[in-house]
Structure formats: structure tokens, C-alpha cells
Amino acid sequence: MSEISNQHKDVLAKLAAASKRGGMSTPADLVAVSKVQPDSRIAEMLEAGQRIYGENRVQEAQKRWDDTFAGHRSGLELHLIGPLQTNKAADAVALFDVIETVDREKLLKALVKAVGDDGQMPRLYVQVNTGEEPQKSGVLPAQLPAFLKVMRGTYNLEPEGLMCIPPADEAASPHFWLLSNLAKDNDVAKLSMGMSGDYEIAAEMGATSVRVGSALFGARHYA
């Protein structure tokens, strides 16, 4: 059995146990973050049976999933977890099943235009900048109710969930707690939170999906 397959099994087992400890009736979904990973590791992950993948960049994702692994696309679910520029909205709508990084009205407008009259809108998550970091995208917590009002009222779009990326140098759990409370207060069903270093904590705190890269595939090597 391959190392990737073992890591996959290990993460799934830890995730299921953590969701159970958190009182969840089903384990959080595992989004395997495939950005930057070499084709050989992706092929092993597909072989291991992993079906949900997360990508940061539209162009990189198109190359991987519309080209290299086009033959494996059926039954897969692709999530965009990186920032989306409005000029890439049409490409993102065509490729992704879920867009987790909705964070401004201009993007809502571009997505609606990209879908047109008979296209399929991907499932949408609103990214929340829980750490209020100036360099990070996401709606500020205080502005979330107003943003959701516009999303639901003006654009007739219902968010499936909220997503956050806690500051790298802080404990993640206060951010997960905040996101969970924002979801409850605003009637949003799902929570995308937790990465390689803290997905078990996130699952214990009610994550419905976690985004795990290096713990599944090994370290990323940027060129």
C-alpha cells in the first residue's frame, strides 16, 4: 500500500473520531488540498478513493482537472479555496462545484453574470476574515450580517456555509468558535474550517468540512 494511501486512511480515521467527539452525527467531509502537489501524488490519492479536492488558483486547477486528470473527473467534487478575481468568475463557475471564498458584492455580481440564464451556480461559502488581518480576504465579522442580507436579498443566493483561515501565528480555536457562532447567528448551515495542523480541533468544534493538504500529500514544494 502506498504512503499516500496510508496517510489518507490515517486522516480519515482521526477526522471521524474528532467529529464524533464533537457530537457530530457524521464525520466532516475531507477536502484534499491538491494545489502545487505533483501529479504522481494526485494519482495515488485518486487511487486511494479520495473524491473531494481543493484548489487555490483557477488556472492551476484547470490544468490539473480539465487536462492532466480529465479522465478521472466523473464523481469528483472540486472546491475553490483561494481568492477569486472577478475576471476569472466564468472559468471558476465552469470548473468548480463549490466556491468557498465569496467575500464581496462585486464577486456576487460577476458570479451571477457568469452563470447566465441556464448555467449552474456552484455551491457558495462566504469567507470570513475572523482575525481581521488587513492582508487577508474575507468579510469582516461585524460586516457579515449586512453582506448576507445583500447576498440573499439582492442576488437571491443562499450560502451553504462559512469558511475561515485563522491567523498563522495564533491558536485556531477562538477563530473556529467565532465562525461557528456567526453561522448560528446568521442561519448558515455549514462550516469549512481546519487545515493540516488543526483539523481535529476544527472537527471537534463542529466543522462540516476540513481542508487538508500537507498532512495528506506531504509537504508542498514551490518552484
Ligand X SMILES: *Cc1c(COP(=O)(O)O)cnc(C)c1O
Residues that bind ligand X (CB under 6 A): 33, 35, 56, 81-82, 165, 195-196, 211-215
State which residue, 62 or 196, has the beta carbon closest to ligand X.
196
Report the residue number, 182 or 212, with the smaller CB distance to ligand X. 212
* CB of 38 vs ligand X, minimal distance in Å: 14
Give the other-Cβ count within 10 Å of 132's Cβ.
12
Using an 8 Å Cβ cutoff, are 29 and 192 in contact?
Answer: no
Q: Rg for the chain (alpha carbons), in Å?
A: 17
Q: How far apart are CA 35 and CA 47, in angstroms?
A: 18
* Cβ closest to ligand X, residue 60 vs residue 155: 60
Residue 19 vs 37, nearer CB to ligand X: 37
> Using CB atoms, what's the residue nearest to ligand X?
213
Q: How far is the CB of 198 from ligand X (least distance, A)?
A: 9
- Taken in order 112, 114, 120, 122, the sign of the CA dihedral is negative
In angstroms, what is the minimal distance from the CB of 43 to ligand X? 19
Helices 144-153 and 105-115: angle between axes, nearest 10 degrees: 20
Place of cell 447567528: 185
Looking at the Cβ atoms of 146 and 194, the one nearer to ligand X is 194
Q: What is the DSSP string of 188-199?
A: --EEE---TTTH
Closest approach of ligand X to the CB of residue 126, in Å? 14
Q: Which three cell numbers stand for residue 139?
A: 468579510
Q: Which is nearer to ligand X, 82 or 167 (CB)?
A: 82
Q: How far is the CB of 125 from ligand X (least distance, A)?
A: 11
Smallest separation (angstroms) from ligand X to the CB of 218: 10
Q: What whole-number distance in Å separates Cα of residue 211 and Cα of residue 223?
A: 22
Q: What number of CA atoms fall less than 13 Å from residue 107's CA on the CB side?
A: 20
